[in-house]
Structure 1
C-alpha cells in the first residue's frame, strides 16, 4: 500500500522515441510544423464558420466543433512532447500524465461522435433536400453537439476513474510520447479484467457503433446519388461528402489500429508509436486542409475575410 501511494506522486518518464535518438530532431521539426498548421488551419475554420453568414449552416457548425476538438487535443499533447524532444529529461508530472490521458480519451471519443453526427447531416442534405432545414434545425444541431461532448466526457470519466485505482508498484516508464490510457494499463502490476472489459465495451460504443452509423448513412447516400442526373449537383455532393469521408478514413483507420488491434511485442509497440504520431499530430493538421482545399465555400469565405481585412 505504501508503494502504491508513493508511486502516485512520482513523475512519469515518457520514453517516446528515445530508442531512435537520431530521429528525435526530425520528429521535433515535423511536429512543430504540423502544430503550426493545426493552430492556423483549425482557428481559420472556426473563425470563418462563425463570422461568415453564408457558412451559418449545420455542416459548418459541426465542422467548427470538430476543429475546436482538434485544437484542444493537440494542445494537451504537443507542448509537453516538444519539451521532451528538446530536453534530455523525458519526464511528466503525475497530474500532467493523468490530464493527458483524460483529455486524449475525452476528445477522441467526442470526435468519433461528431463525425457520426456529420454523416447524418450529409444524409439529410443529400437524401432529404426539401426538408433539410426542418430536419437539421439549430436546436437539434446544438443537442447533437452537446450529446457528443457529454458522451466523450462520460467515457473519459469512467475509464480514467477506474485506471486511477490500479496499483503501479513503482512503475514510472511510459513507453510512448504521451500518456495514453492503454499504456497506463500496462504500467499496472495487476491485471484487471473489469477495466479491460469496460474499456473494450466503450471502444465498441465509441468507435465501431459511430462507424457503423457512418457506413449506413453513406450507403443510403450512395443509393440516392446514383439516381441524380445533374452533373453540377454530383460534383457538389462529392466535394462535401468526399471531404468528410477522407477525414473519417484517416481518423478511424488509425484509431482502430491504436485501440482495437493487439500489440504484444516490442516491434508492435514501436509501430504503435508511429500510428499514434499520425493520429495525434498529423491528422488534426490535415483536417482543415482537407475541408478547405476541397470546399469552395470555405475558400470563398476566407477570401472575403481577407478582402475585408485589407480595407
Structure 2
C-alpha cells in the first residue's frame, strides 16, 4: 500500500510540475501573415489605412492580442501588439504574432473590412509562414498543426499552395502561398506607361525613368533622374508595384546576458533597452517605437 501511495504521489508531483511548465511556457515562434490586395482601377482612393483603429482592435480580439502602441509615416502604419506587430500600408497588410495567438482567425473579418472600408475586393498575393513550434501541443485551432492551417486557408482559397522546407521532424519552415497574378499592378503599370508614352530604362531601372518627348522624338529621349522620395510618390500615384524587400532573422540559444538587456531587471524602459542593445544602430534613420 505504501509503495502504491508513493507511486501515486510521484505521478501527481510530475503532473503538477508539467502543468506549471505549461503555464509559464511562451511560444516564441512567430506566425506571419502577409496579404497584398489587387489594385482597384475604379477606386484610386482604395487604402487599407482608412480602416480606423477601433476596427483593428476588434479584429485583433479574434487573434487574441491587443494594440500596445502606434506610429506611422507617409507610407505605413505600424502597430506594436501584445504579441508582436502589425503593419498596414496602402494595399499591403502584415500581421506577426507569437505565443498561442490565432492569427488565421482574423481572415474573414479582414476581408470584410478590406471590401467595406478600404475599397479592395480581391487578393493579389498571400503568404503565411512560420517555423515549427517548440510546443505545438499548446496551440489552439486553427494552429494545432500545419495540416490544419492549410485546410483552414484552403477553405478560403482554392488556388493556394503549401510547402514545408526542411525535415519535418526537425527544425523546418512551413509556407502557404497564393499568387493569382491576374494582371494587378503590373497591368496598371503597362497601361499607364503605354498611354503616356513612358518606358522604363532597364539599364538604370532603379534610378531612372525615360520619357519620350513627342516634340523631340526624333532627336533624343529625355532622361529624368528620380530621388527616392520622388520614386515613392510615383509608385503611390500610379499604383506601380510596391518595393517589397524584407529581412527576417530568427535566433535561438542566445546568450542569457544579452537577453537580460530586454528585461526590467537590466533596463527600466524600452528606450534604455534600445540604446543598451545597440538596435538603434542597425539601420540609420529608422523609426523605432519605444
Per the normalisation by structure 2, the TM-score is: 0.27
Higher helix share: 1
Larger radius of gyration: 2
Higher strand share: 2
Instruction: Point out which structure has higher relative CO (alpha carbons under 8 A, 6+ apart).
Output: 1
Per the normalisation by structure 1, the TM-score is: 0.26
